[in-house]
Structure 1
């Protein structure tokens, strides 16, 4: 199945419950730094684009912030609404951020939690800039897969990728933390925003065979496989974990917090 990003982003809604169960949570220290860098207070008005099942949203809601969310997936939004039902300061709309109407010069902060890449590159920065008031903030949180955890497993598993994903490079390997390219969108945002902060956080998560299979099912490239290839790929991964790693592996993540401030018009 050959899908562009506009189509791939819709696939996450098909596995909403699995996505909620297995995707890693953002570190608390990242949320603390976000709040401090953006000088947020309880009265702050936030627009969250692509909240998914509301994991980041809840962390912000617990700090008393007012948040408008827009999520393109109805099932993802449904889980988010259930998770956030106790917070009257949260509003969730289902729709396409690129087409929805919002008040101009209204928000203190626009935040994308691992969702910026799914928005049209020609529209995302100018649109956000129009919605933020003067001195408002743009926050991007990115998730990077890095070398660590059960290192040999990620070498062994390349056999499965090469069998079922023709785009797999013969020389692929996970990067060390120092090799991760951060501030990826700084060039794109600099016309409208000035960089305030770029900080990274490492986290290691253990997965059973079944949990790791579920995690892989939430990745866009695996979701885009046809059903037969996806099953064979996941079975291949499971065989390696069970036969070589006693049913458990550890995976290491690097989260990046990028904060930029709206430039004041001359």
Structure 2
């Protein structure tokens, strides 16, 4: 299974239950980068269009670049009313966009899948002069007991689980290699509240999670149900979460 196909069979549950991003973050991003209504944005690794929709709601023309066919089709259906929405079959490393064609790039909950150097080169190619990249991620507070119990359930029943965010490096060092110096970092408290259906659905939407055809699917659902019953109050559970925003100019990669 390639990175492109890891979300096959999960596009609907992903679109329905994946967490949103704080409106405050989006407003800060627009203000900090002086984005205007005529700004052109590439949302790369756009998935089912969660961040894409926020950008469209502010009037930007958005190229939503997504390699997974199922995810892309969900976004196309959901966002078809937006005249400035352009769906693109492409990857972070090969967006297919024209050279110097976008003012700004967003990456929401997808950076950990990218080939760093190849993505840097592609950003360098498609961004206009002085264009920047914003990388946004919802990050679990893994020291909390609820997230530790969720991790235990994943480890027990999901063979592909290698850690949250696929176990890929989310340390600041990788961003130091991607951005030029003095890139912006902001952290937003963004606890995620769910009813039971939403809590289970969210945890079935991960790339490593199970689908109904998997042997241990009922076991995983039962474990998640038990966690919900343990931590919920009045039918609602709150999962500690931080949303992190990093934005800056990309380090130049020599073409040679």
1:255 — aligned with what?
A: 243
| Alignment of 1:215 onto 2:202 | yes
- 1:158-199: per-residue Cα shift (whole Å, max 9, x none)? 553453357889xx99xxxxxxx7645322224xx3444110
2:216 — aligned with what?
A: 229
Which of 62, 66, 72 does residue 67 from structure 2 map onto? 72
Give, in whole Å, the separation in 1 of the partners of 2:118 and 2:212.
Answer: 29
Give, in whole Å, the separation in 2 of the partners of 1:20 and 1:82.
Answer: 11
Give, in whole Å, the separation in 2 of the partners of 1:242 and 1:69.
Answer: 38
| Alignment of 1:132 onto 2:150 | no
1:160 — aligned with what?
A: 153
- Structure 1: which 5+ runs fail to align? 174-180
Which of 29, 32, 55 does residue 37 from structure 1 map onto? 32
Contact 2:104 2:131 in 1 (8 A): yes
- TM-superposed CA distance for 1:236, in Å, is 2.1
- TM norm structure 1: 0.80
160-169 vs 32-41, greater mean Cα deviation: 160-169
Over 3 Å counting, the alpha-carbon distance change for 1:118 and 1:255 in structure 2 is: same
1:187 — aligned with what?
A: 176
User: RMSD between aligned alpha carbons?
Assistant: 3.1
- TM norm structure 2: 0.82
Contact 2:190 2:241 in 1 (8 A): yes
Runs of 4 or more consecutive aligned structure 1 residues displaced over 6 Å after TM superposition: 166-169
**Within 5 A, what are the aligned runs for 1:86-165?**
86-146=81-141, 151-157=144-150, 159-165=152-158
Which of 184, 192, 195 does residue 197 from structure 1 map onto? 184
8-17 vs 159-168, greater mean Cα deviation: 159-168
* Structure with higher strand content: 1
- TM-superposed CA distance for 1:26, in Å, is 0.4
Matched length: 247
- 1:182-224: per-residue Cα shift (whole Å, max 9, x none)? 645322224xx34441101111222233322211111122249
Q: Larger radius of gyration, structure 1 or 2?
A: 1
2:167 — aligned with what?
A: none
